[in-house]
Amino acid sequence: MAATSDVLEFRDYRMGFRDDELVHDLIDGMSFGVPTGGVLGVVGESGCGKSMTALSVMRLLPSAAVVQGGEILFNGENLLARSEAQMGEIRGRDIAMVFQEPMTSLNPVHAVGRQIEEVLRIHRSGMSAEERRNATIELLRQVGIANPQNRYTQYPHQLSGGMRQRVMIAIAVACRPQLLLADEPTTALDGTIQAQVLALMQNLKEQTRGSIMLITHNLGIVVETCDQVVIMYAGRIVERGTVERIFDHAAHPYTRGLLASLPSLAGDTGELHSIPGSVPSVADFERGCRFAPRCELRREYCAREVPPMTALSPEHAVACWVTGGGRSE
């Protein structure tokens, strides 16, 4: 059970996709919390269900998706039980999301200033047009955009990728949300800009005393940015812990594989490892441990039986029959 200080808490959450009469489970009994005022990293390869996790919080899942059970608590209240109208108030005001691809999320036919103002128009109806304009220019300045008065009237195509992502962040933090969901916010950006955008989010979090769920496929980003990490494989949490524990004592073969594929940790040989194979599609998941087909340590029962989450220390848990124990034979 997560601490009461978690701003967001998944409890045994399950969702899947409709396929004719069947529903294939993607997220299968997921439980974890985002600590209030902290940054939680959610890490996994492409196809693991990270975006569906974030979209579940926003209640913006694609139409083929089916929520099958569990709860997603925001300040102790189940978002899954909220009406569409209530969600409309929460989205953008209390919980905001930054997407991977800023170009597809910004509207190409409106100036960026207007797109930031739109959030204020919806959620801060008491503001005058002039107050909104001033607040927007201040937001552009806060996200590190020079000449905000000029940028205000520009269109997305007139900005660089890094600048567009800053505008997306300005939109997301316009109402000082308690929780920011950042879905691969820097994946489309190159190295130095990546670091700047991450530092910016960190900085804004401290100013607004908010919390962040940072989704990434890159464990390297997590070291710099996060307090705690959950490692996700094919819709399940396979390991969770503090950043220190995960980096120094990774227990799950999947986590170890992700670490071995980090350039900076490849060691003197400079040899990069990658985990053989790829994440299967939902219809092909194993009944037991979903990582079993790619796992070097697998035993014959692994693919049949789901390994329980086992605590290795107060701040570290793993779901693996081999490295987590829990099977007596």
Q: Which residues bind Mg ion (CB under 5 A)?
A: 51
62 binds, among Mg ion, ligand ADP, none (CB under 5 to 8 A by kind): ligand ADP
Q: Is 64 in the site for ligand ADP (CB under 6 A)?
A: yes
CA distance 199 to 195: 6
CA distance 13 to 67: 8
Considering the complex, state which of residue 28 and residue 183 has its C-beta at the smaller distance from Mg ion.
183
Q: Shortest gap between Cβ of 187 and Mg ion (angstroms)?
A: 9
Tokens coding 4: 């009461």
264-293 footprint of ligand ADP as x/- string (CB under 6 A): -----------------xx-----------
**Can you tell me whether residue 7 is helix, strand or coil?**
strand
Considering the complex, state which of residue 51 and residue 211 has its C-beta at the smaller distance from Mg ion.
51
Q: In 184-286, where do the E strands start and end?
A: 211-216, 228-233, 236-242
Q: Shortest gap between Cβ of 85 and ligand ADP (angstroms)?
A: 26
Residues 223/241, Cβ–Cβ less than 8 Å: no
Longest Cα–Cα distance in the chain: 71
Considering the complex, state which of residue 117 and residue 184 has its C-beta at the smaller distance from ligand ADP.
184
Residue 261, amino acid: S
**Cα three-residue angle 64-279-21, rounded to 5 degrees:** 30
Q: Shortest gap between Cβ of 69 and ligand ADP (angstroms)?
A: 18
Q: Is 143 in the site for ligand ADP (CB under 6 A)?
A: no
223-262 footprint of ligand ADP as x/- string (CB under 6 A): ----------------------------------------
Only segment of 2-10, 50-58, 132-140, 157-165 that touches ligand ADP (CB under 6 A): 50-58
**Can you tell me whether residue 138 is helix, strand or coil?**
helix
Binding ligand ADP by CB under 6 A: which of 29, 33, 41, 44?
44
Positive or negative CA dihedral for 182, 316, 298, 301? negative
**Interaction residues for ligand ADP, span 16-35 (CB under 6 A):** 17, 26
Considering the complex, state which of residue 52 and residue 312 has its C-beta at the smaller distance from Mg ion.
52
Considering the complex, state which of residue 9 and residue 183 has its C-beta at the smaller distance from ligand ADP.
183
CA distance 156 to 190: 18
DSSP, res 191: H
Binding ligand ADP by CB under 6 A: which of 5, 46, 158, 278?
46
123 binds, among Mg ion, ligand ADP, none (CB under 5 to 8 A by kind): none
Residues 226/243, Cβ–Cβ less than 8 Å: yes
Q: In the chain, where do the E strands start and end?
A: 6-19, 22-35, 39-43, 65-74, 77-78, 95-98, 179-183, 211-216, 228-233, 236-242, 310-313, 316-318
Q: Is 62 in the site for ligand ADP (CB under 6 A)?
A: yes
Contacts with ligand ADP, residue ranges (CB under 6 A)? 17, 26, 44, 46-52, 62, 64, 281-282
